[in-house]
A = this chain, B = another copy of it.
Amino acid sequence: HDVVIRNGLVASAFGAIRCDVGIRDGRIATLAESIPDGAQVLDAKGLLVLPGGVDSHCHIEEPRPNGSIAEESFLTASAAAFAGGTTTTVSFIPQWKGHGVWERFVDYKARAATGMVDHAFHQIISDPTDQVLEEEIPRLVAEGVRSLKVFLTYDNVHVDDRGFIRVLETARKHGCLVTVHCENYDAIRWRTERLLAAGLTAPEYHAWSRPTVVEREATHRAIALAELVDQPIQVFHVSCAEAAEEIARAQARGLKVWGETCPQYFTVTARHMEGPEGANFMCSPAPRDEAEHANIWEAIRRGTLDVVSSDHAASSRAFKVGADFSTIPNGLPGLAARLPVLFHEGVTKGRISVEHFARLVSTNPARLMGLYPKKGVIAPGSDADVILWDPKREVTITQSLMHHAVDYTPFEGMRVTGWPVATLRRGEVVMREGEITGRAGGGQYQPRARYEMASPRGITPNGFGA
């Protein structure tokens, strides 16, 4: 073997097993009670051996129509990912209204190749023209893009019901998953106008502009239209009990509907948006309160929400400004902090098992995105993406540990127990004790083939279109 990890507790989807892990040619070659040989030997005594994190929702190096580009590059994002135990990202190819997507895919794939993290892409659809749906998407699918992202809000990217239905229909035809940002566009616009007219412009009114009911409405609508078309969807960044309940109802009816949440939805509250640093905590859906944090944990426990991603979407503080809350850029940096924050709040505090943790950050997103079993599991034949995790190490989260491009972390000062000691990506140690040892360009594109979880059920009204 090229690398042998000895004496660890391998905590993957099959529970925690004490065994050695042998790596050869970048893949897990062997799991055994004892593996003697190995060019490189890592002693994992006292450590957990976890599958590398899969962050299936993070915004990296997205170019905008005006030529500007998101601060976070694939290189800095890769460093942040490795620092936090993540080895695979699924980030977003933009679509600019009035433009196609193929050009953006080519450009974005080239950008991603400059980073270090393994990567796949969602294609955002903000302008679902016939050209895009009928000609370009088939080409993207042939290139291994298997998920389409739709926003039901935001001025520049939102699609209406007709556009959303057409994306669902196209995804169904070509075997893609659809991921959805669920908030009601018109409702938010109306509340925002009324708030601004009342002079309530500070960042904290961002939360007032988009209460839970607008998230619930859009969640139910997305589910209903997906049910009509018979297309699997994942609801992104669920922040409240009401939206989670809609997902749970859909799942109970047997629909292919999944729900994701993010660390900010069980750690950050609307009160963080008060005061001079308030803009640093703005994201959408808006942070809620402690009661909703508990609700989110309940939804995780019940399995309604089965993926915890970062929704990393970062701007440095200098850019977190605007005339009022409606013009301040949204999004929080969380690539590096995702696993430590979840481990601390979940495993250390006794809410979930280590095995459940591994599923939430790695196995489940890998499965749902069609990356499994290459990613998301420690098993013979899988990519040797592995974290050595010290469940007892206490660390205070601070900006310098995050390795991302932006200049703050919303988790600054949070003391957590549980921390990644080393990260291996395809058998290569790319992070050790906080030092990033990967090299630029080392990340691989992960094309995805048709897969079961994204396949329709074959159940449509009157059997028409099934």
Contact = CB atoms under 8 A, between A and B. Distances in A.
A120 interface: no
B186 A165 contact: yes
Contacts of A211: 228, 461-462
A187 interface: yes
A187 B27 contact: no
Contact of A13 (B14, B187, B207, B301): B14
Contacts of A298: 254
Contacts of A207: 462
A225 interface: yes
Interface in A149-199: 160-162, 165-166, 169, 184-187, 189-191, 194-195, 198
A224 B228 contact: no
A303 B301 contact: no
Interface residues of A, number: 65
B254 A194 contact: no
A379 B220 contact: no
Interface in A425-466: 461-462, 464-465
Interface in A7-57: 12-15, 17-20, 22, 24, 27, 29-33
A217 B227 CA distance: 10
User: Most chain-B Cβ atoms within 10 A of its Cβ — which of A189, A198, A462?
Assistant: A462
A408 interface: no
B465 A19 contact: no
Contact of A31 (B27, B187, B380): B380
Contacts of A161: 184-187
B228 A187 contact: yes
Contacts of A252: 302
Nearest to A270: B462
A464 B224 contact: no
Nearest to A378: B14
Interface string A211-233: 11110110011001101100000
A379 B30 CA distance: 11
A96 interface: no
Contacts of A380: 17, 19-20, 31-33
A159 to B, nearest CB: 10
A80 interface: no
A465 B194 contact: yes
User: Most chain-B Cβ atoms within 10 A of its Cβ — which of A20, A187, A254, A372?
Assistant: A187
A381 interface: yes
Contact of A160 (B186, B214, B303, B381): B186
A200 to B, nearest CB: 8
Given A31-B32, A32-B29, A187-B225, A213 B461 contact: yes
B17 A373 contact: yes
Contacts of A19: 379-381
A214 B160 CA distance: 15
Q: Which 3 A-B pairs have the closest CB atoms?
A: A211-B461, A217-B224, A161-B186
Given A161-B184, A213-B228, A217-B221, 15 more contacts: A15-B377, A18-B381, A19-B380, A22-B32, A29-B32, A30-B33, A33-B381, A184-B224, A191-B228, A191-B461, A194-B464, A200-B464, A212-B461, A213-B227, A217-B224
5 contacts: A19-B379, A191-B228, A208-B464, A214-B228, A254-B298
Interface of A: 12-15, 17-20, 22, 24, 27, 29-33, 160-162, 165-166, 169, 184-187, 189-191, 194-195, 198, 200, 207-208, 211-214, 216-217, 220-221, 224-225, 227-228, 251-252, 254, 298, 301-303, 372-373, 377, 379-382, 461-462, 464-465
